[in-house]
Every structure is written in structure tokens, then in C-alpha cells.
Amino acid sequence: MSRFAAPIAEQIWDMKYRFKNADGSPIDVTVEDSWRRIARDLARAEKDPAAWEVKFYEALEDFKYLPAGRITAGAGTARQVTLFNCFVMGTVPDSMSGIFDMLKEAALTMQQGGGIGYDFSTIRPRGADVKGVAADASGPLSFMDVWDAMCRTIMSAGSRRGAMMATMRCDHPDVEDFITAKADSARLRMFNMSVLITDPFMEAVKADGSWELVFDGKVYQTVQARDLWNKIMQATYDYAEPGVIFIDRINKSNNLNYVEQIAATNPCGEQPLPPYGACLLGSVNLARLVTNPFETNAELDPEALKELVGTAVRMMDNVVDVSKFPLDAQAQEAKNKRRIGLGVTGLADALLMLGLRYGSDEAARQTDRWLHAIARAAYLASVDLAKEKGAFPLFDAEAYLASGNMMNMDEDVRNAIRENGIRNALLTSIAPTGTISLYAGNVSSGIEPVFAYAYTRKVLQKDGSRTEEEVVDYAVQLWRDKFGEKTLPEYFVNAQTLAPSDHVKMQAAAQKWIDSSISKTINCPEDISFDDFKDVYMQAWDQGCKGCTTYRPNDVTGSVLSVSESSEKAPGEGAEAPQATTGADVVYMSDPLDRPQSLEGSTYKLKWPDSEHAIYLTINDIIIGGHRRPFEVFINSKNMEHYAWTLALTRMISAVFRRGGDVSFVVEELKAVFDPRGGAWVQGKYIPSILAAIGGVIETHMVKTGFIEGEGMGLKSDPKAEVVNLTEAPRGKACPSCGEYSLQMVEGCMTCTSCGFSKCG
């Protein structure tokens, strides 16, 4: 019997996490093989690997503990990849050479698949003097454009997607340009952006006081704090960025504030990190720990939770030792502090199983109790590890216990740390879990509410047919299994129906026991007034959150998923559950294409008459289901006149190939291009242009590899260039991986509910 609770879960495993040979054939035959692979790899850091492999496997079994995607995909594969999700890079020097040294480090990190965060507040503002060269500085935004181009280039080369986070202090002279940068829809697309908000700034906002914009001790401008705050709010209201990070609150509560200063976060904000800090993530699946769901005696098993947390902490601590790192500085930082980020997923589903309405006072109290139990168990497990393996190298008992976060910890835990030390400087964080939550059976993501009870996706099968598949929330499916199609109770609320204040309440309840931070999206209705929208952020500040991210659907951000009601009645009044739908006839590619370590390919020489240099085409294939299909193209020539268009063609064709589906139409499109200056006779055949000749070479390759049956037998047009009915309900933006219109904002990160694509990697 399959361990997967839903078809989409097995498909996510096969696409994202299953270990395969270069030809696409599986090494992990079952998901049990994947669990065994991970358990064995993390157990090799132990003195008794065989015994701990058993314990680690039991934690992974049935999706109870969910390591972050890079661990699930990379552990035990011997691939040269990092198991850490994201990094904050080193402090950017205010010099040209230093800036480009940092750019190089960023590129090396992203090549291994890590997302990166940067604070650009250290770069002098636009127009400032540059001593010694009689010039004005171009400012941090111009260098962010360079980073953005680098990230696009890394992605175009086939490396795994990695997101970037840019932060800037609220007192930097260029902060207003930073705030409005995303108003240009073509600019800084590879970045998430957040403003670092200080305590004095918030005090000035509340007092309607003035605010100085300062760099290197020089005041460049004085503004009204409330005006600047309103500019941040207006930008976020209009196009969902920048986010807000309460940086002083983060530094005051940091367990390590005696040895580090934080000025940036990882791309989704749940891990504020020092220079070269790395985030190591994993989640306890609360939905799998509830006994007697929907009964009067339903509860989350406290002993099972405590044991699972203890095992998870040990597994994550071992990742520090077995993982590779893009840079030596990142490895040193991780081993000096052994920071981990254990969080939760399935919280909303677990609350539903106990009959609690997400956002209610009782749900917030229950969340507080669960997160408190997890924090206690995690800290005490780390103390036990310190007894066995030693405390983290930079541990200083009195300084550590004097930090803002540790002052709130239970006294028995503080005493245990004082007596024995602690293995991991920080232990808890709540991350975006969009993909791993789908993999775990479509449990609710992180601490988010259920987005939709069910939605329909259309799946393109290998034979070209399309089937419809319902994707049902894990708790809703349990309800159906137990009670059939009986009407859902009124406490089944979702992201579409919750008030923003309910979101804030839940984030604040969880934050109390999270020593790092939380990735959470506060969904706001499109028609929320600007004043009410601003109040959401003030509530987050007043209730002790470390940051705030909202999502208000509009013409710029998209309308994520349309939600249809079969009745105007609410659940509990005789209506069926609302269903999220993807609207038009959209296509999910059953085999999204991630680049393996190696590919099979062929190189062809194309000599065009009257051209001094030949053109060389390399076409690499990926093997799926035993069949070769084109994956990427490289077009090279020594003729520099060809450089720009051959590079553009390389990127465009490769991008089309990687999206999946029948891409043979590319051949016909190229073969139809004619040169008004005339074509040429090549091997007895008239070719209307050099582009048509390139199309012919690609066609020859497709025929040779069996992708198409013969010359002229490819598609004549793009099968995905379908007519869209503009009278339909608004839809979200298309997923760049599978093409479906099923992107939703999950914990500050656009995530596809069909294929698991995440902007944040």
C-alpha cells in the first residue's frame, strides 16, 4: 500500500526528491528508500550509525518529520550540493573591488542552489562623493541590478533556482528609491525586498516625528517618519513589496547578540542571520501527531511530539557536519554556532482536527502551548547533545542566558543550559513549507491557514490526454473519510475568509516561542482600505512580531486562485466547502525538468556559405521514462557578429525545452524564418536563413533521438499558446515551471499548488 496520502504527493516526490540516475531511472524505488537514504546519511555523524539510522528512519516515516527540500533531495546522494537552504552573505564593502568580490561569492553560492540574503545598507548613497576618482557614487540600487542580472544568468545556465533577499535600513539616504524599486515591473525580479525597521523609527512614526536619513555620520535628508512609513505601506499595498523587518527587535532577542549583529535575513525572512550565516530547516508535521481527530477526545500526542522533536534536533545537528558549503566562511560560521531552524507544518490541519477555528483566541492559545512544548523539547534535546558532544564553540553561559529570548525561557531549561551548555545556539524557526507540505499529503503549510479545502488541477498525461485531479486538504480528506460528504463544520475556515487580524494573532502566538523568526503571509482582501491595511502592520508591531508580510490581490500581484462557492451559505449552514479552481483549461506537465548533474548530448558543425567561421550547436537531452528529449541548446561561433543573437537564441530555446511538453514546434518556427537578403543552398537543399539551418540541425537531432518520428513531423505551433477567455474570473499568474495558473502566496513565497514550484527554491 502506498505511503502517499494523495497522487500529488507521490508526483512531488518523484519530481523533486526521488534520487535518480543521470538517465532518469530511479535509484529510490519507493519513498521508503528515500527515507532510508536520508537516515543513513545523517546517521554517519554518530558513533553508532546503525542504531541512529533506525531512529532517524522512524522520525521520517509517514512524513512525521520533514527535513527541508535540499536535505530530502541531496542527503545520501554524494552530489556536490549544500544541504542548507539559504545563506546571508558577507557584509558588502563600500568599494568597487569589495562589491564585486561579494558578487562572486554570491554566484558560487547560488550555483550550489542556495538562496542568499544581502543588506545593501553598507553601500554609499547615489550621488555621494567617491574619493580619488572625482566621481559620484551610483548607489546601492545600481549594484542590486547587477546582482539581479547575475541571478538570471545562473538560472539560465541550468542551476537550481535560488531566491535572493535584499534589505535596506530605514535611515539609509536611498531608502525611498529602494521602497519604490518594484514599481518598475521589469526591475529586480529575482529579489524579495524588505526594509529594516528600527525601534526609534517606529517611535517616530507613532509620534509623527521627523526622521534623518544618514550615511557614514552625514545627514543627507530629514523627512517625516510617518510620510516614509506611508510610502512603505503604499508600495506594499500596490505591489506586495517591500516587506517589513523589525530589526532591533530581532537583535535584542537573539540568543547570540553577544557575538553577532544581524542586518539581513534569508529570502523568506524566517531566518535572520549574521554575515555568512546559513539556515538549516526542518518541520514537525503536527497533522500526523493528532490522535482521534474530530472526536471529543482528540489531542496532539505530547509524548510523541517530545520524542519526535528530540530526534529531529539530533538529525539537524548532524547536517551541520555532513553538509558541504559553497564557501569556507559559511562552513566556519555554521560550525561555530550550530544554528538550526526546527519548525512546524500542518498547524491549521491539527487545529481543525481538535475542532478549533484558526484565528480564534482558543486556537491562538493552543498554538502557544504547542510551540512552547516544541521549544522546551528542542532546547532540552540540545542540552543532552551538549553533554554528549559538547556545546557550540562560541557558547558563553551568562551572556547566552542574558539574551532577550532566553530571559523568557522556563527556569528549568535555563538551569540545564547553565549547568551543561547547549549544542545549538538557536533552534526554532518556521519556514515556508509549500512543497514539502504537498509531499506530505497536502497538509496545511507551516502555520498558515488552509488555503482552500480542495481544488482541481488538469494533468497532461504521457499519451497526450488530460485528466482532472482533485487536490484535497489533508484534514478535509480525513473528515471525508470519517463522515463522508457530510457538511463541514463552521470552524473550517480558510485563507479566503479570515480577517487579517486573525492572521496577525496567530503569528504573534507562535513568535513567542520561536527564537529565529517566522515566514508568514497575511492575506488581505483586495478591497481593504489603505488605513485598515496600514493597521495590519501596526498590529504586527504592537503584538511582538519580528516582521510582517502581506498579500493583497490586485492587477499587479495577480488574483492567485479564484474561489467559487456552490452556495452563498457558509459551511455549517448546508453549503458545500468552497473549492479553489484554476479556471481555464490549463496544463500541468507531468515531468517538470530539473537539470541532472550530467546529460547526454551531441555537437553539430554548421557551415553557412559566405561565413568565415562555422557555428557549433550542442544539444543536450534528458532521459524521462526511458526516452530522450531535448533539454538545452548551446550555440557557439568565433564570429563575434553572431555573439548577441546566438546567446539570445541559446537562452530562449533552452528555456522552452525545459518547460516540458511537446516542444518540437521550435523546429518549425525556426525553419520558417527567411532572410530578406537571401538564403543559401546547403547539401542540395535551399535553406531560407541561417536560423532555418539551425532549426534543421535541431530537427535532425530530434529525429535521431526518437523525439519526433521524421523530418517535418513536429508540431506546427506551440500547444500552450491557447486563446484565453478574458471574460473568465481573474486568475493568478502562470507557474514558470508547469504553466498552470495555480500560484499562491505561501508564507511570503509564490508557490505552485500543482507542481510544487517555489520562487524561493
230 is annotated as an active-site residue:
no
612 is annotated as an active-site residue:
no
| Helix residue ranges, H only, 390-473 | 397-401, 411-420, 434-439
Secondary structure of residue 140 in the 3-state scheme: helix
Measured at the CA of 506, the angle between CA 501 and CA 507, to 5 degrees, comes to: 95
From the candidates 86, 151, 170, 268, which is the catalytic residue? Answer: 268
Report residue 600 CA to chain centroid gap. Answer: 30
**Of the candidates 489, 490, 523, the residue with the CA atom closest to the CA atom of residue 506:** 523
Q: What are phi and psi of 281, to 5 degrees?
A: -120, 150
Report residue 653 CA to chain centroid gap. Answer: 26
Spatial contact of 513 and 372, defined as CB atoms under 8 Å apart: yes
The cell for 738 is 508547469
Phi-psi region of 558 (alpha: psi -120 to 50; beta: other; left: phi over 0): left
Secondary structure of residue 579 in the 3-state scheme: strand
From the candidates 254, 255, 257, 266, which is the catalytic residue? Answer: 266
Q: Is 239 exposed, middle or buried (0-12, 13-18, 19+ CB in 10 A)?
A: middle
Q: What are phi and psi of 167, to 5 degrees?
A: -120, 155
From the candidates 270, 333, 448, 669, which is the catalytic residue? Answer: 270
According to the 3-state scheme, what is the secondary structure of 181-192? HHHCCCCCCCEE
268 is annotated as an active-site residue:
yes
The DSSP output letter for 17 is I
Residue carrying C-alpha cell 541531496? 74
**Of the candidates 381, 366, 341, 351, the residue with the CA atom closest to the CA atom of residue 67:** 341
The DSSP output letter for 128 is -
Spatial contact of 126 and 139, defined as CB atoms under 8 Å apart: yes
* Torsion, Cα of 498, 503, 509, 510 (10° steps): 120
Secondary structure of residue 529 in the 3-state scheme: coil
Residue carrying C-alpha cell 522546551? 376
**Looking at this protein, which amino acid is placed at residue 615?**
I
Say how far apart CA 272 and CA 262 lie, in whole Å: 7
As a residue count, the chain comes to 761
> Would you name the residues annotated as active-site residues?
266, 268, 270
